Every structure is written in structure tokens, then in C-alpha cells.
Amino acid sequence: MGFAKTHDILDVNSSLINSEVKLGGWIEDLRKLGKMTFLTLRDVSGIIQVIVKGELNDKLEGLNRQSVVFIKGKVQDTKAKDFDCEILALEIDVLGKAIHPLPIDPIGRLESNIDNRLNSRALDMRNQKTASIFKLRHHVLAILRKTLSDKRFIEITTPKIIGSASEGGANLFSLEYFGRTAYLAQSPQLYKEQMTIGLERVFEISNFYRAEKSHTGRHLSEFTSVDIEAAFMDYTDVMNVLESLVMEVYKFTSENCKKEQEEIEYEIKVPNAPFDRVAYSQVVDELKSLDQKIEFGDDLLDSHLRLVGEKHPGFYFLTDWPLKLKPFYIREKDEDATLSRSFDLQYGYLELSSGGTRLHDPAILKARLAEQGLDPALFKDHLQAFDWGMPPHSGWGLGLDRLMTTLIGIDNVREVVLYPRDPDRLRP
């Protein structure tokens, strides 16, 4: 027989009793009782019991759990309390045998550490907790795209191989490119700014690269970033866009992903809005009251942010940073040129996003590059766009992987990335 399924297991219910169906999936359990076998079959949508009688049992001889089979059968009533109906097998094809023992237990009866699971990631997807994390990630990506599109943002795709060190060249991977040096992009920053000239509001969801030798649960060498840039918006406007996106993600998954929440044993709770907006100067005062050695203008260390996160759990915006701590393209505040029109979105101690209002005056931008020790000549391709009628614009970049960890209550981004890359992991 052919191997086209007539139904996903999720769609097989008691309304189909006495109907014939064709199902494909993996054997999760196998119990022989005399001349009858009770087989548990799972596909990506769900699980069902299959009864195998008579000579068909010969097809199961020597077959291990997690082997893939294709079954033609008749839907019938069942006495099993965990199922609405069951399948009486009429034909069975074994499509692929699984070895024994497998490198990890995909059912999760025997727990495996994260490294072993990552080494066998495709098999780990048969663990319903793991699969549910990536189903949630799928829904998060869909709701981000829908929400931004509804706000009239246009999706773009920028190069990941670039010819110059954007944003100052820190932590860039370099590679040989037809006899020249190229780099892997660490953000779409300069490209997305340029796109506001014609498209006004743009967004990109893509992978970017940072050559940081960090060994924490929140850093990766390859990460997924959600970026926006919008003409005629100030940093407060794009903060509102970011807050609405986060709220939509939480609302949608909380209401529509009940099964996934059951599998990961975590309830997604919608945060309170609006998010608090806490000025950098307030944070410095709070840290000083906790006897921390910090002065206005100092960058916030991880140890500082952990203390701040205890006082401000959940989502909040950390605003109005000193200008000297921010990249060259961030604009100063009109009322105080030592401060920037910038923000970070925090979840407790965890930074999720950074953004602000950008400089759009080419003369000021060139001066700022020089102030930061950067050669304007290296940015000539970018700067030329500012002579073509660059509008005032603002934007941000959001770490999707980190957002996912907040959504499902875990603290290791490797759990929410299919094949994570860090200083120690380049395979599989």
C-alpha cells in the first residue's frame, strides 16, 4: 500500500467508528498478550491504541519501540480508559526499525541530561515535553509576524554575510570570502535603518551571530533575533510596540496552547500591563541603597541586574541610559545630552531587548562615530543613505530565545533552540 495518511491521530475519534483509516507513526509501547498485541502509536498530533491480531503479529516480531510503521485499520470502540476509540489493524508495514538501546529515552521515563539530548536532538523531539516547547515556539513566531503585520510593518531579510564590521566590530566571526575578509552579521541594525527610507516600518526575524566566549544559560553564538525599525516613531512609541507584542504572545499561548502547557507542566500566565518604566538613575540609587559600589555612568553588571531583578520581578523597561554606554547610532535626549533616548526590556535580571531613537542627521552621526573611535570611512555605504532623505526613526532588537525561556519558565536557552551553538558546541 502507499504511505499517504488519511488522518492524523488527533482527528481519529468515536465519530469514525467502523470507518477505515490509514495512520503513520512511531511505536511508543508494545504489549503482547497471547495472540494479540496492544500497540501504542504516536504521531506529531497525538497517540492512539492499535490492536494487532493473528498473523499480523508476525510483522511485529523483533520490532523495538520507536520503530516507524504504517497501519491500515478499522476504528472501533475501546474499553481503554485513556482513549476515545482504538484501531483494529488490517495491514501493517514496518517502514523503519529503531535500534535498541536508543541513546536517550524519548518517552522520558529515563531522564537524560541536556547534553545527551542535544546530541540526539531529532530523537528528543519524540519526547512530548520537548516537542511541546517547539510547538509553542512555532505559535510565538506566528503571533509575532501577525501582530507586526497588523501594525503595518513589512518583513525584510538582510544579509548575514557582510563586508564591514558594523556596530564597531565587537564579537564578530570573520571568514574568507573569495579572497576578501567578510563577517557574520551580529544584527541587521544598519540595513534595517536604511530600509525606513522607502518602507518606513520594517521587521526581521532571523538568526545572527556573536563570537562571545560566554558560558551561561542565556548566551549563544547563534541566536534568533526579532528586530523592528520604524520611521516617524520615538523610542517611547517603539517601546509600546514591543510591550504589545509580548502581551499578544502571552495571551495567545496562554489561551490556545493548553495541551502544550500540560506537557511541559507549566502554566503560562499573562503579565500585568503596562510594564513599569524604571530610569537608569533610579536603578543606580536603588543599588547604592544596597551598598553597591556604583556611580552614575557605570555600566550595570550581571550582579547589579540580579539585585535590580529582585526589586523589579517580571517585565519592566530600563530607560534613559547614559549616552556613553550606548552604540554610536543612539540619539541623545533634548533636555539632557548626557542621557540617551534608549531602553532595555528586562525580565527580572534578564535583558530581552535593547532599543532607542536613532540619529538621523548625517553630520552628527559622523561626529559620534569619531567620538567612539570609529572610522566614518568604514561606514560609507551606510552613511550615504543619510543623504537621501533619512527620516527620524527608532527600533529595537528582541532575543526570541530568551523570550521563550520567560514564557515557559526555564532558565537555559539551549532548551528552546533546536541545535544550539556555543563556544563548546558545533555539532550535531
For the sheet with 315-319, list strands across it: 154-155, 201-209, 222-231, 393-399, 350-357, 342-347, 315-319, 276-279
- As a whole number, mean pLDDT of residues 170-194 equals 93
Q: Is the pLDDT of residue 309 over 80?
A: yes
Report the pLDDT value the prediction gives residue 216, as an integer from 0 to 100: 83
Q: Is 317 left (phi over 0), alpha (psi -120 to 50) or beta?
A: beta
User: pLDDT tens across 68-81, in order?
Assistant: 999 999 999 999 88
* pLDDT of 4 above 70: yes
How is residue 383 written as a grid cell? 552613511
Q: Which of 267, 205, 247, 220 is nearest to 400 (CA)?
A: 205
User: Which pLDDT score is estimated for 167?
Assistant: 61
Compute CA 230 distance to the chain's CA centroid, rounded to the nearest angstrom.
22
Residue 110's pLDDT is: 84
Task: Average the pLDDT over each of 22-36, 324-338, 367-381 and give the range with the smallest value.
Answer: 367-381
- Dihedral of CA 108/111/112/118: which sign? positive
From CA 287, how far away is CA 308, in angstroms rounded? 7
pLDDT in tens, 27-69: 999 999 888 999 999 999 999 999 999 999 988 988 999 999 9
Q: Are 353 and 399 in contact (CB under 8 A)?
A: yes
* Average pLDDT, integer, range 285-307: 94
Using an 8 Å Cβ cutoff, are 401 and 413 in contact?
Answer: yes
pLDDT at 166: 62
Across 410-428, average pLDDT: 94
Mean pLDDT of 198-218: 92
Q: What does the pLDDT read at residue 40?
A: 96
Q: Is 420 within 8 Å of 118 (Cβ atoms)?
A: yes
- Omega before 428 cis (within 30°)? yes
Phi, psi of 283 (to 5 degrees): -65, -40
pLDDT confidence of 88, banded at 50, 70, 90? Answer: very high
b/e per residue, 78-116, with b = 16+ CB within 10 A?
beeeebebbbebeebeeeeebeeebebbbbeeeebeeee
Cα of first residue to Cα of last residue in the chain, in angstroms, is: 35
- CA 290 to chain centroid, in Å, comes to 34
Amino acid at 301: L
User: Could you report the per-residue pLDDT of 125-172, keeping only the tens digit for each?
Assistant: 999 999 999 999 999 999 999 999 999 999 999 999 998 776 655 689
**Within a 13 Å sphere around the CA of 257, how many CA atoms are in the beta-carbon half?**
30
- Look at residue 2 and tell me whether its pLDDT is greater than 80: no
Distance CA 129, CA 107 (A): 9
pLDDT for 374 equals: 87
Pairing relation of β-strands 276-279 and 315-319? parallel
Structural contact between residues 218 and 230, judged by C-beta atoms closer than 8 angstroms: no
- 227 pLDDT higher than 70: yes
Q: Would you say residue 122 has pLDDT above 60?
A: yes
Task: Identify the pLDDT of residue 3.
Answer: 87
Place of cell 503482547: 32
pLDDT at site 267: 97
Average pLDDT for the chain: 94
Which pLDDT band, with edges at 50, 70 and 90, does 212 fall under?
confident
Instruction: Give the domains, in start order, of the chain with CATH numbers.
Output: 9-96 (2.40.50.140), 124-416 (3.30.930.10)
Q: List Cα–Cα distances, 93 to 38, 64, 75, 276, in angstroms.
A: 16, 14, 18, 59
Confidence of residue 103 (pLDDT cuts 50, 70, 90): very high
Tell me what pLDDT residue 409 has.
96
- Phi/psi of residue 94, each to 5°? -90, 115
pLDDT at 1: 55
d(CA 80, CA 249): 37
For the residues 92-99, what does the mean pLDDT come to?
95
Please indicate, yes or no, whether the overall pTM of this predicted structure exceeds 0.75: yes
Among the listed residues 381, 373, 314, 382, the one whose alpha carbon sits nearest the alpha carbon of residue 347: 314
Residue 372: per-residue pLDDT: 87
Q: What are phi and psi of 82, to 5 degrees?
A: -90, -5
Cis peptide bond upstream of 159, omega within 30: no
